[in-house]
């Protein structure tokens, strides 16, 4: 017999919206502790089931992925920014786009990005004032945005990095906030929130517009770009021979520009938050870097030997997954572990809680990079799973390892504030007030 999943106490009308608005991470964590591995939430009229075991995640994201689509509230909110794109599309449209872009992220393709990553990191490190406090989170957003522009679009986006960071500081929190409200004013009504969001999105569109215009200008002159946008410009409809519309080019470009730097910046931020508080882990990584690199810059050929560096990043992504929640809509009624999943309802997989499940992660709140010495458990899913496994996962890990190696070869990270660094769950998991950090030269005694 199929049963209803247990549910924590909620408001008679709003359900669990107040808890989600006040402290969504704490609310979900407590619900899992008290209700178990399948929890039913009610967000106003919508039913949502949280699935908190790797086999449940595998069922939705892999084994039965065709029965769970992206016609969810979160995807609708994201479409407000990216439109219909690889991130939000379903069915044949998604498959065509994924098939087209997959070669750009093949191992052989991204191997050539290593020099771009190290040169960008080297240029940024030249601006660091040793021992002085700064916002490491903001610095990583600017650095990874510059790298994404050069690697994915062969465009120097460094001058736009601050504008991009400021725009996303508005767009991402507001996009997530819409999910916690029963009613949102239509975009055409000039409320203060809508005006702020519209202005930020216009700044983002201006950056994307310049990138597309540059590629179109070069294409008209016969100069091809061998990057993601260059591939999209070559796409032709099998029946009509027409290429992608400007709107389609805009949607895919904005998707990759955001996804290509936002999650990696957050991964690096949380990694250095943890490393700054675990000097023993830093010492282990630095001994590895001394052995593998000596005094030279890392290359992609070094990556297989930077084992401890990679494990530290994986452990940071376990504790602070940049994509902390994944939502799908059930197209048909389903049953998972005896629990009814109604058609049209949402299911969510939350890496934040799954990565802390004590059955799969002993002492789950502690930072232990050596957990990954034996491999990567199924309960680690910061990049999702199944056919929609993040297309840029290898690119992101390579960048995170290369940038971490570049920094730790020269510096030790030291906290610059005693205030707690608070996770800020939006579309991605950011640090709410940034990350105050100091980078101290490795052999300098810190007083």
Residues 297 and 116: beta-carbon distance below 8 Å: no
Stretch 249-262: mean pLDDT, rounded?
A: 91
User: Is residue 70 scored above 90 in pLDDT?
Assistant: yes
Give the pTM.
0.94
User: Is residue 446 scored above 60 in pLDDT?
Assistant: no
Stretch 350-373: mean pLDDT, rounded?
A: 97
Query: How is the beta sheet containing 133-135 ordered, strand by strand?
Result: 133-135, 436-441, 411-415
Cα separation of 295 and 271, whole Å? Answer: 23
Q: What percent of the chain has pLDDT over 70?
A: 98
Residues 103 and 97: beta-carbon distance below 8 Å: no
Domain residue limits, the chain: 17-441
Q: What is the mean pLDDT of the chain?
A: 92
User: Is residue 359 scored above 50 in pLDDT?
Assistant: yes
What class does CATH assign to 17-441?
A: mainly alpha
Per the model's pLDDT, the better-predicted residue between 310 and 189 turns out to be: 310
pLDDT for residue 447: 46
Per the model's pLDDT, the better-predicted residue between 248 and 329 turns out to be: 329
Stretch 417-427: mean pLDDT, rounded?
A: 93
Kindly state the helix (H) or strand (E) to which residue 101 belongs, with its residue range. Answer: helix 91-101
Q: Model confidence at 53, in pLDDT bands (50, 70, 90)?
A: very high
Over residues 205-229, the pLDDT tens digits come to 999 999 999 999 988 888 888 888 8
User: Is residue 88 scored above 50 in pLDDT?
Assistant: yes
Token pair, residue 210, equals 């310049």
Q: What percent of the chain has pLDDT over 90?
A: 70
pLDDT for residue 56: 98
Over residues 230-243, the pLDDT tens digits come to 888 887 766 677 77
CB-count burial class (<10 Å; 0-12, 13-18, 19+) for 234: exposed
Local structure of 429: helix, strand or coil: strand
User: Is residue 271 scored above 60 in pLDDT?
Assistant: yes
Over residues 124-169, the pLDDT tens digits come to 999 999 999 999 999 999 999 999 999 999 899 888 988 998 999 8
68, β-bridge pairs: 330
Kindly state the helix (H) or strand (E) to which residue 91 belongs, with its residue range. Answer: helix 91-101
Residues 289 and 302: beta-carbon distance below 8 Å: no
User: Is residue 203 scored above 60 in pLDDT?
Assistant: yes
Q: Model confidence at 445, in pLDDT bands (50, 70, 90)?
A: low
pLDDT for residue 125: 97
Over residues 26-40, the pLDDT tens digits come to 999 999 999 999 999
Per the model's pLDDT, the better-predicted residue between 244 and 19 turns out to be: 19
pLDDT for residue 181: 77
User: Is residue 100 scored above 90 in pLDDT?
Assistant: no
Residues 6+ apart with CB under 8 A from 211: 149, 153, 155, 157, 229, 253, 257
Comparing 59-73, 84-98, 254-268, the range with the smallest average pLDDT is: 84-98
Over residues 323-344, the pLDDT tens digits come to 999 999 999 999 999 999 999 9
Over residues 158-192, the pLDDT tens digits come to 889 889 989 998 998 888 888 877 778 888 999 99
């Amino acid at each position: 017999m199929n049963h209803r999943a247990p549910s924590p106490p909620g408001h008679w009308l709003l359900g669990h919206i107040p808890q989600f608005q006040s402290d969504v991470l704490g609310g979900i964590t407590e619900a899992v502790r008290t209700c178990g591995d399948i929890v039913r939430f009610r967000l106003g009229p919508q039913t949502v089931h949280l699935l908190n075991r790797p086999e449940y995640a595998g069922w939705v994201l892999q084994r039965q992925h065709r029965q769970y689509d992206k016609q969810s509230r979160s995807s609708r909110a994201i479409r407000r920014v990216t439109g219909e794109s690889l991130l939000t599309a379903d069915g044949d449209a998604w498959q065509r786009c994924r098939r087209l872009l997959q070669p750009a992220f093949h191992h052989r393709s991204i191997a050539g990005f290593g020099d771009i990553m190290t040169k960008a990191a080297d240029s940024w490190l030249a601006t660091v004032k040793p021992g002085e406090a700064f916002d490491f989170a903001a610095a990583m957003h600017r650095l990874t945005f510059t790298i994404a522009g050069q690697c994915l679009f062969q465009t120097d986006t460094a001058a736009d990095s601050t504008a991009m960071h400021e725009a996303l500081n508005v767009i991402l929190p507001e996009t997530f906030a819409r999910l916690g409200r029963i009613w949102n004013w239509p975009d055409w009504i000039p409320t203060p929130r809508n005006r702020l969001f519209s202005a930020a999105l216009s700044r983002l569109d201006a950056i994307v517009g310049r990138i597309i215009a540059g590629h179109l200008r070069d294409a008209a002159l016969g100069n091809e770009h061998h990057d993601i946008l260059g591939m999209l410009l070559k796409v032709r409809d099998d029946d009509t021979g027409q290429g992608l519309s400007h709107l389609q080019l805009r949607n895919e470009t904005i998707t990759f520009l955001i996804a290509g730097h936002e999650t990696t910046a957050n991964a690096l931020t949380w990694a250095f938050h943890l490393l700054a508080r675990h000097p023993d882990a830093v010492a282990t990584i630095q001994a590895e870097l001394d052995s593998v690199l000596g005094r030279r810059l890392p290359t992609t050929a070094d990556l297989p030997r930077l084992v401890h560096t990679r494990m530290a990043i994986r452990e940071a992504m376990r504790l602070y997954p940049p994509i902390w929640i994944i939502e799908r809509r059930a197209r048909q009624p389903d049953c998972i572990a005896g629990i009814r999943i109604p058609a049209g309802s949402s299911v969510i997989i939350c890496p934040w809680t799954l990565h802390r499940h004590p059955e799969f992660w002993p002492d789950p709140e502690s930072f232990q990079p050596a957990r990954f010495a034996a491999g990567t458990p199924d309960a680690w899913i910061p990049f999702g799973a199944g056919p929609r496994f993040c297309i840029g996962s290898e690119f992101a890990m390579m960048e995170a390892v290369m940038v971490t190696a570049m920094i730790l070869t020269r510096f030790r990270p030291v906290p610059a504030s005693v205030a707690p660094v608070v996770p800020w769950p939006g579309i991605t998991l950011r640090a709410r007030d940034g990350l105050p950090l100091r980078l101290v030269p490795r052999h300098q005694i810190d007083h």
